[in-house]
Structure 1
Amino acid sequence: MSKIDESRPFLPVRIAVLTVSDTRSRDDDRSGDTLVARIEEAGHTLAARMILPDERTEIADQLRAWCADPEIDVILSTGGTGLTGRDVTVEAHRDVYEKEIDAFGTVFTLVSFNKIGTSAVQSRATGGVAGGTYLFALPGSPGACRDAWDEILRLQLDYRHRPCNFVEIMPRLDEHLRRK
């Protein structure tokens, strides 16, 4: 089973937070605030934060810009993962992904099911990799952000987590782009 190996050092990662909403501002971005608080409590660095409207092209462009920024290791977006016509965050993420982390959505659904039952089927949370950067699209509720962080990302973004974690393979995410 998974555990924290205290003999390994903690390695902070640089995380950007993108809130996708047509109505939220910094003053009432509870989901973004939830993620920022957890990132900082865990000892990671908040590298950037932004709010964008539910516009697929704008979201994808920002994701690409952050993926190209060497000061950002991970991007967490919140909002726009549902089923309504304005929910385009998942599509924007998939426009950017080089590889999708299929199991992220599955594990998120399992975590959600234990909290909200069959309502978990309405989320399309997703994860992927692009340009050596991890990207995760989370639902827009503070509870869903807490669940994703507390149950999945907190552990996978901790180098000490065993048997494996996202941090230890970070240096190899873009190996296909390097010369041989």
Structure 2
Amino acid sequence: MVHHVTHRSVNCMVITISDTRTKDTDKSGRLMMEFLEQSGHHVEAAEIVPDESAAIQEMIKIGSENPAVDVILTNGGTGISFRDVTIETVKSMLDKEMTGFGEIFRMLSYQEDIGSAAILSRAIAGVISHTAIFATPGSSGAVKLAMEKLILPELSHVVQEITKDLDKH
């Protein structure tokens, strides 16, 4: 079943979560921004924060409370090592989770790319207030896969769904 949604440009915030990346070495953050801009979306803000729950939470809060930001996209900090806290941090902030995002992301990763190592792959998406959030792994392969196959095809639709009740209040 295909839903025909008017493509609408959405305003995005890109957050790279890493203890080591800088503006110069943030390949995945740059890739996300390129994908968004090539698809007619606008990057309102781009930030790099350390792999620390409080820092991630604060940046997501800033993005979700900014009326100019429709969608927050994060990359990095999603692994299973001790320092990786993105998934737990984002999950604790969600009003609604889009469970299909992580499920399909792992299925595609398994099929296209990494085989059984997909069980280590963590990704999450959902809604915080009236802002969508997508958290992907930090590798450029993961970002490319998530952007091309899942995020960009549904970005306008997701924003339309989470904002359609706003003018009724």
The interval holding the TM-score normalised by the smaller chain is: over 0.9
For residues 15-34 of structure 1, what are the structure 2 equivalents within 5 Å? 15-34=12-31
Do 2:18 and 2:76's aligned partners in 1 also have CA atoms closer than 8 Å?
A: yes
Instruction: Give distance in 1, aligned partners of 2:63 and 2:145.
Output: 24
Distance across 2 between alignment mates of 1:41 and 1:25: 23
Gaps of 5+ in 2: none
**TM-score, structure 1 as length reference:** 0.87
SS, match of residue 93 in structure 1: helix
Residue 96 of structure 1 aligns to which amino acid in structure 2?
Answer: M
Give the aligned length.
168
**Which one of 58, 83, 86 corresponds to residue 83 of structure 2?**
86
TM-score (norm 2): 0.93
Alignment match, 2:101:
104
In structure 2, C-alpha distance between the alignment counterparts of 1:39 and 1:54, rounded to whole Å = 24
After TM superposition, the structure 1 = structure 2 runs for residues 13-162 of structure 1, keeping only pairs within 5 Å, are 13-114=10-111, 115-158=113-156
Work out whether residues 132 and 173 of structure 1, in 8 Å CA contact, stay in contact via their aligned partners in 2. Answer: no
What per-residue deviation string (whole Å, max 9, x for no partner) do you get for residues 51-103 of structure 1? 00000011011101110100000001000000000000111101211111111
2:161 matches 1:169 = yes
User: Cα distance, 1:2 vs. partner?
Assistant: 4.1
Identical-pair percentage: 36
> CA shift at 1:111, angstroms?
1.3
Cα pair distance change 1:137/1:174, threshold 3 Å: farther
TM-fit CA distance, 1:9:
4.0
Partner in structure 2 of residue 161 of structure 1: none
Q: Structure 1 residues 42-51 or 113-122, which shifts more?
A: 113-122
* Residue ranges of structure 1 left out of the alignment (5+ in a row): 159-164
> What letter matches 1:122 in structure 2?
L
CA separation of 1:17 and 1:121: change in aligned 2, threshold 3 A:
same
Letter in 2 for 1:171: T
Q: Output the CA distance in 2 between the equivalents of 1:9 and 1:150.
A: 18
What RMSD, in angstroms, separates the aligned Cα atoms of the two structures? 1.8
Q: 1 CA distance for matches of 2:71 and 2:165?
A: 12
